[in-house]
Chains A and B, each alone.
Chain A
Amino acid sequence: EDKVVQSPLSLVVHEGDTVTLNCSYEVTNFRSLLWYKQEKKAPTFLFMLTSSGIEKKSGRLSSILDKKELSSILNITATQTGDSAIYLCAVERNAGNMLTFGGGTRLMVKP
């Protein structure tokens, strides 16, 4: 059974801080790892990391996949109140047809 564990469970920072969110996984025949951001409603896609693309960056957000340690981090620099959300990590296996999600990290950014 695939397993995804995220840490910390929750985090409170102030605007301008840098945060690092963690995701560790156990999956048979790993294909990719995905990060999502969930504000009030539907999760929205951030990044997908695969064996051929282990680092992604978009503005203040970046993510790295460590295949040896079976983990990934999501970094957010110069945080803003709009970054407040639940961040979800998910993995998929080859020929799997589905994603397995972690429990999420709730980030609150205070002004």
Chain B
Amino acid sequence: DAGITQSPRHKVTETGTPVTLRCHQTENHRYMYWYRQDPGHGLRLIHYSYGVKDTDKGEVSDGYSVSRSKTEDFLLTLESATSSQTSVYFCAISVSGVGTGELFFGEGSRLTVL
């Protein structure tokens, strides 16, 4: 068990409101990722981090920002939520230490934007 906790697990919000999802790990891994999952699209990378204050964009980063002020926490923020951001969000960590290979995923956060 890689020790990943996502919060909140479920959230319903309204269009235009800010939302922050939190990913917490207990094992001090360097690489952390945020993916979103939508029917027919598999998992798509939003942002990832390779260390404290070191982040980079993925393929669907528009409308999202991230922060990593501590090794154990990786935050995903929707500055102004839109209905197209209704999705299931997964946090993941790379246990290899070099940002590749096997990822361990959190349980997911289901976000509904009305």
Contacts and interface: CB of A to CB of B under 8 A. Distances in A.
The answer to whether A binds B is yes
**Could you tell me the dominant secondary structure of chain A's interface residues?**
strand
Contact of B108 (A1, A9, A42, A101): A42
A98 B102 contact: no
Contacts of A104: 42
Contacts, number: 58
B91 to A, nearest CB: 9
19 contacts: A32-B101, A42-B105, A43-B43, A43-B90, A88-B43, A92-B100, A92-B101, A96-B100, A97-B48, A97-B50, A97-B100, A98-B33, A98-B48, A98-B99, A99-B45, A99-B103, A102-B42, A103-B41, A103-B42
Interface string B57-84: 0110000000000000000000000000
